[in-house]
């Protein structure tokens, strides 16, 4: 019997009596498949909670009903608002992440809840852009921040602006909620794991007909001559109230001129206009800080810092999984979120604060067809939300958790309870008990629970090199010798594309705090903005 089988059998012998059958069946699975089937025997099957029984389900349902009956909406004015955006965090991502999260801790996972799934109010958000069924982040985040739907690819302008046409966008700018909040005296800020000039964070402060105009180096001479400004420069021209108190994420290269080196890597910046925006930040704001590594964030005197610019990577910040393997310089999302809240609480003691927190690399991992990293990013996102919950009160702080759009991640295959969410499918027999062999598709090969509609498709870890296999007519990759739970495994895809794409279905809205009950149905995405304004008493 393979050693991996022995390990898996040993791992479940400590379970309760109801899982003795699982142990026996796993033994049979290992014996039946033998050493040639490492793709199945390497999987860890996770036990369901020991307390599950008919009585348990009855009690669970009754307790949830009592909580719902006792729930009273909070209708006082919200002093603070925190908007959490999981970029690309569709419902399939949330479901897979809740299972992944629990399985990383040794349990089956289907019964698990991520921190924000305990919020009392849930609705759905329709994500389409005015010109696209399946949306992009620029138009969707503009909807949430400005209260109107608009085109894909544009930020902070209405639907009458043509993408990448500066002249057409002049006069179409729409104010963001963060600009209004600052003008009304609230402390303001945002945190992201992308470049801070990326579409989602940019929609809090910028106005442009082209999301890719992150630096002046990305713009045409015609666009500059017509009066459009790059997104990084617009961060420094935010002149509402006390300005932006917190801006943290990646994207340092867009803030430093090509004639200078940035402090993080010593490489030259990107800007062509000669401006060093990090110095301008320090000149613009009294009692301000510019930081670029984790230690500097940890050492920051939050009680005496009014404005902080944190740029922790030249481009996007590292994936959570990769950062964990690194001795490194980048803080994680929970640390950035906690620091932002503490600083904003200090600066907004009287009038409150607005904060936007984005987990942007959920989206990027999905685009790469790499479910492992997407789910790990979602776990980190949930941890950041838990930090915010611990630091605030639902009596005065409205917390909203949502996504800008979904992705084409799918969950299927009739896997048995506790089957690894990243694994190949092992189903149940005709009596509802786990099979002693993996499920086999009509092409005589195993398949995974998770997959993508489109993208580059299959890739496996090969000594640090990723080997892609585009989907081909007449067959798939044989997964018998592949560890599909490896962080560098990329799921199979149906339609061959250079990058996996967004999906167009609705995404969830989770809310707690003042006026959270206003999320109650299927809403247009820009409705989120109107709820935030109402909660603030505007």
CA distance 468 to 491: 10
Handedness of CA 253, 259, 262, 265 (dihedral sign): positive
Q: What is the three-class DSSP state of 368?
A: coil
CA distance 472 to 482: 19
* The three-state (H, E, C) secondary structure of 321-332, written as one string: HHHHCCCCCCCC
CA distance 246 to 184: 17
Q: Per the structure block, which two tokens stand in for 208?
A: 């442009």
CA distance 460 to 478: 12
Phi, psi dihedral angles at 199 (to 5 degrees):
-55, -50
Q: Where do the DSSP E strands lie in 271-317?
A: 288-291, 307-311
Closest of 126, 226, 110 to residue 170, by C-alpha: 226
Q: For residue 162, what are the CA distances in angstroms to 36, 127, 142, 154, 209?
A: 57, 20, 15, 8, 7
320: annotated active-site residue: no
Angle at 482 between CA 476 and CA 486, to 5 degrees: 120
Q: What is the three-class DSSP state of 193?
A: strand
Q: For residue 118, what are the CA distances in angstroms to 386, 434, 496, 510?
A: 11, 30, 38, 9
CA distance 318 to 291: 17
| Contacts with 66 (C-beta within 8 Å, 6 or more apart), sequence order | none
**Dihedral angle, C-alpha 419, 424, 428, 430, nearest 10 °:** 170
**Which residue in the list 92, 107, 125, 137 is annotated as catalytic?**
137
Q: What is the three-class DSSP state of 335?
A: helix
Q: Show which residues are catalytic.
A: 137
């Amino acid at each position: 019997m393979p050693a991996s089988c022995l390990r898996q059998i040993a791992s479940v012998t400590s379970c309760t009596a109801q899982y003795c059958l699982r142990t026996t069946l796993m033994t049979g699975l290992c014996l039946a498949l033998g050493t040639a089937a490492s793709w199945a025997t390497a999987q860890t099957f996770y036990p369901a909670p020991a307390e599950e029984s008919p009585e348990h389900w009855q009690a669970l349902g009754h307790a949830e009903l009592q909580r719902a009956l006792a729930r009273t909406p909070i209708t006082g004015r919200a002093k603070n608002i925190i908007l959490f955006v999981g970029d690309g965090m569709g419902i399939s991502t949330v479901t897979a992440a809740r299972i992944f999260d629990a399985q990383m801790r040794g349990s089956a996972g289907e019964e698990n809840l991520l921190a924000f799934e305990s919020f009392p109010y849930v609705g759905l958000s329709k994500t389409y852009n005015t010109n696209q069924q399946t949306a992009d982040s620029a138009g969707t985040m503009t909807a949430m921040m400005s209260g109107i739907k608009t085109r894909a690819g544009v930020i902070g302008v209405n639907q009458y602006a043509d993408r990448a046409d500066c002249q057409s966008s002049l006069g179409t700018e729409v104010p963001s909620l963060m600009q209004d909040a600052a003008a009304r005296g609230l402390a303001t800020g945002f945190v992201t794991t992308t470049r801070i000039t990326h579409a989602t964070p940019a929609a809090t402060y910028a106005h442009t007909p082209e999301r890719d105009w992150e630096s002046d180096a990305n713009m045409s001479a015609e666009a500059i001559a017509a009066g459009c400004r790059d997104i990084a420069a617009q961060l420094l021209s935010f002149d509402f109230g006390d300005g932006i108190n917190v801006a943290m994420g990646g994207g340092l290269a867009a803030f430093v001129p090509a004639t200078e080196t940035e402090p993080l890597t010593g490489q030259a910046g990107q800007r062509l206009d000669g401006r060093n925006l990090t110095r301008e930040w320090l000149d613009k704001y009294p009692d301000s800080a510019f930081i670029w590594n984790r230690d500097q964030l940890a050492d920051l005197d939050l009680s005496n810092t009014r404005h902080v610019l944190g740029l922790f990577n030249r481009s996007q910040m590292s994936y959570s999984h990769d950062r964990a393997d690194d001795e490194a310089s980048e803080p994680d999302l929970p640390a950035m979120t906690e620091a932002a809240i503490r600083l904003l609480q200090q600066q907004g003691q009287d009038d409150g604060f607005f904060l936007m927190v984005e987990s942007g690399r959920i989206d990027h991992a999905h685009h790469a067809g790499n479910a492992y990293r997407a789910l790990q990013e979602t776990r980190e996102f949930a941890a950041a939300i838990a930090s915010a919950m611990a630091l605030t009160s639902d009596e005065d702080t409205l917390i909203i958790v949502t996504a800008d759009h979904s992705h084409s991640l799918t969950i299927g295959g009739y896997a048995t309870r506790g089957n690894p969410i990243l694994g190949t499918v092992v189903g149940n027999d005709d009596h509802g008990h786990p099979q002693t062999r993996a499920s086999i598709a009509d092409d005589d090969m195993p398949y995974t629970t998770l997959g993508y509609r489109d993208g580059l498709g299959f890739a496996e870890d090969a000594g640090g090199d990723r080997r892609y296999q585009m989907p081909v007519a007449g067959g798939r990759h044989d997964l018998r010798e592949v560890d599909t739970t490896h962080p560098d495994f990329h799921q199979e895809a149906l339609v061959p594309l250079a990058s996996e794409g967004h999906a167009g279905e609705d995404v969830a809205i989770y809310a707690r705090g003042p006026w959270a009950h206003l999320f109650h149905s299927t809403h247009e995405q820009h409705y989120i903005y109107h709820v935030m304004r109402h909660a603030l008493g505007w």
